[in-house]
Amino acid sequence: MSAVPESVEFHLPFDASILMSLVAVGIIGLVSWLGTRRLSHVPRGAQNILEWILGMIYQFADDMIGPTAARYYPLFAMLFFFIVVSNLMGLIPGFFSSTSKLSTTVGLALIVFFSTHYFGIKEQGLWGYIKHWFGPVPIWLKPFMLIIELIGELARPLSLSFRLFGNILAKEILLGVLALLVIIFLPSGNLIQEILTLVPLILRPLIILLGILVSIIQAFVFMILAMVYIGGAVQAHEGH
């Protein structure tokens, strides 16, 4: 008779942040289905919320990019919804934000980076797009201008990924520390330490509210910067 192992360890065949990302996608799909399954001319419930959020995204895109902004609506909506849902998942016990992992934020930043250049080349042609990197400067300054532009372009995905990663990771660490303090102080048997337990218990709801605010703001900032980068790329020939 073969021996039965006392314990069986379960290992995911991929990083847990990928699982959290898939859960976020599933939540977005569910909310989208709830908001569109019974469409009406007078929106109610989930449809009303979705239309309000999408209307806000579209308005910002129109203001920053102009008449061609509708081409990029799906990208901006995808970025906002994925980031905000992923950020908020870290507030749910047993879950964490995939955006607190640098691999996720770098992936999102690279989507914006390559999309910016793809759309810029598509709108202006390869040579027309490259020419705006040299800028309206004397010919002897153009090589230096190109170097400065290249450094700026490479800095964009770094700033996008580290800004989102740093803010969400800080939120996750703060919530974890508060939970740890409760675990440490509560069963201590010491009256003073048990009283101190009230501090993280009181602070936790406030930190959760702050976490909700940070989650929404960071998703909004990421989306706005994506609009700025893509708008600059597709409008360069117009002097914007």
Give the model's pLDDT for residue 6. Answer: 46
Q: Return the HEC string of the chain.
A: CCCCCCCCCCCCCCCHHHHHHHHHHHHHHHHHHHHHCCCCCCCCHHHHHHHHHHHHHHHHHHHHHCHHHHHHHHHHHHHHHHHHHHHHHCCCCCCCCHHHCHHHHHHHHHHHHHHHHHHHHHHHCHHHHHHCCCCCCCHHHHHHHHHHHHHHHHHHHHHHHHHHHHHHHHHHHHHHHHHHHHHHHHHHCCHHHHHHCHHHHHHHHHHHHHHHHHHHHHHHHHHHHHHHHHHHHHCHHHCC
Cα separation, 221 vs 97, in Å, equals 17
Give the model's pLDDT for residue 194. Answer: 58
Give the model's pLDDT for residue 210. Answer: 84
Sketch the domain layout of the chain as residue ranges.
Answer: 16-238
Give the model's pLDDT for residue 188. Answer: 56
Give the model's pLDDT for residue 39. Answer: 74
Provide the residue-wise pLDDT of the chain in tens; the chain has 240 residues.
444 444 434 455 567 889 999 999 999 999 888 888 877 777 777 788 888 999 999 999 999 998 889 999 999 999 999 999 999 998 888 888 999 999 999 999 999 999 999 998 888 888 877 777 776 667 777 778 778 888 888 899 999 999 999 999 988 888 777 766 666 665 555 555 556 566 666 666 777 888 899 999 999 999 999 999 999 888 754 444
Give the model's pLDDT for residue 189. Answer: 58
Give the model's pLDDT for residue 239. Answer: 46
Q: What share of the chain is helix, strand, coil (3-state, %, to 5)?
A: 80, 0, 20
Give the model's pLDDT for residue 5. Answer: 46
Give the model's pLDDT for residue 7. Answer: 43
Which of 104, 120, 107 lies closest to 153, judged by CA?
A: 120
